[in-house]
Copies of this chain bind each other. A is one copy, B any other.
Amino acid sequence: MRSVTIRNVADLAGVSVATASRVLSGHPSTSEVARSAVNNAATALGFRPNAQARSLRKTSTQTIGLVLPDVRNPFFADLAHAVEQRARDFKYLTLFGNANEDAEQQDRYFDIMLTQRVDGLIAAPQGNLADLQAVLDSGVPTVFVDRVISDTTVPSVTPDNVTGVQEAVRHLTNLGHRRIGYIAGPQSTSTGRERLAAFQSALADTNADDDADLIFFGDFQAASGAAGAHHLLELPHPPTALLAADSLMSIGAIGVCNERGLAIGSDLAFVAYDDIEAFSLINPALTVIAHDVNAMGRLAVDLLTQVIAGETPESVILPSRLIVRGSTPSLPGGRTP
């Protein structure tokens, strides 16, 4: 199983390893004869350079690490895809780590990425500074995406977590809703915290109820969305509208509504976060807070290449906006927008 090395190629081509190396890596100083001899030998032997040896010699590995909380979350699946595609443009191989929404697994992946000597790291981080310490200490070029850890100087690409929520709350109260249930994300994430703060602050500007009961804390996974819907709908004064802080919790919550025979859009208004493809399953269409995942992934890679190049790019905040569709009708007796 030992593979063919550049030495075998050189021998077959009748040249030195140095010449073989030069030909194979496109160095200009090579003769026509050497080039054809080496290339022929290489294809004849099926030579494939050993990435480990090459990385050891150069200081770069041409790989970047991507640590995300959950591939099974469609938002992150889209993000992973966007990052990977953009990384290819820069000839980077993306090492992908799935943290399972768990700080410990995340840290294990950070460790692995550093051990693998990735040229750069893109992460949607969890937890606090301590979890990132190893990464920061290592000095490996890093960019945060979607989420952020405070008190660091790491550049980031994040969504505007305020505007969309604000618009959603205004939209719902304009429709006449006074009791809006909110299924929040985990407060260990910046997105969870910022979206909740935006919700509470937007609520304060309206005449809607701001009972603590109306807020349920989930973990960005579907099961917690289901639990949240159960909790909120069992309230003595249940909400007439629901807002969930990510797509997976929305899926869980809507599943519960279906089970209970509550028709989205007529019995209950619903606003979801993220505009994922699967939402086309539901009828009437969902009102969502949308942002551009693709741009987020692309930009994260672009920023990372800048960091790798020694620059210190500015963080960017991507806009998010409310897309009104059929799931948020006006309440009987409520004003129309």
A interface, CB within 8 angstroms of B: 1-3, 46, 48-53, 55-56, 59, 61, 71-72, 74, 77-78, 80-81, 84-85, 93-96, 98, 100, 111-112, 114-117, 134, 137-139, 222, 248, 251-252, 254-255, 258, 263, 277-283, 285
Contacts and interface: CB of A to CB of B under 8 A. Distances in A.
A207 to B, nearest CB: 32
Contacts of A95: 93, 95-96
A77 B81 contact: no
B84 A46 contact: no
Q: Copies per complex?
A: 2
Closest 8 CB pairs of A and B: A255-B280, A278-B278, A258-B283, A96-B96, A52-B55, A281-B281, A52-B52, A281-B282
Contacts of A72: 74, 77-78, 81, 277
A101 to B, nearest CB: 12
The DSSP consensus for interface residues of chain A is helix
Nearest to A258: B283
A96 B95 CA distance: 7
Interface centre among A49, A95, A222 (most CB of B within 10 A): A95
Contacts of A258: 280-283, 285
B115 A74 contact: no
A251 B3 contact: no
A66 to B, nearest CB: 9
Given A138-B46, A258-B283, A279-B281, A52 B117 contact: yes
A95 B113 CA distance: 11
A81 B69 CA distance: 11
27 contacts: A3-B117, A3-B138, A50-B56, A50-B117, A51-B115, A51-B117, A52-B52, A53-B56, A71-B77, A71-B80, A72-B77, A74-B74, A74-B77, A74-B278, A80-B98, A85-B100, A93-B95, A93-B112, A94-B96, A95-B95, A251-B281, A254-B280, A255-B281, A258-B281, A258-B282, A258-B283, A263-B283
A244 to B, nearest CB: 12
A319 to B, nearest CB: 23
A277 B49 CA distance: 42
Contacts of A55: 52
A115 B54 CA distance: 10
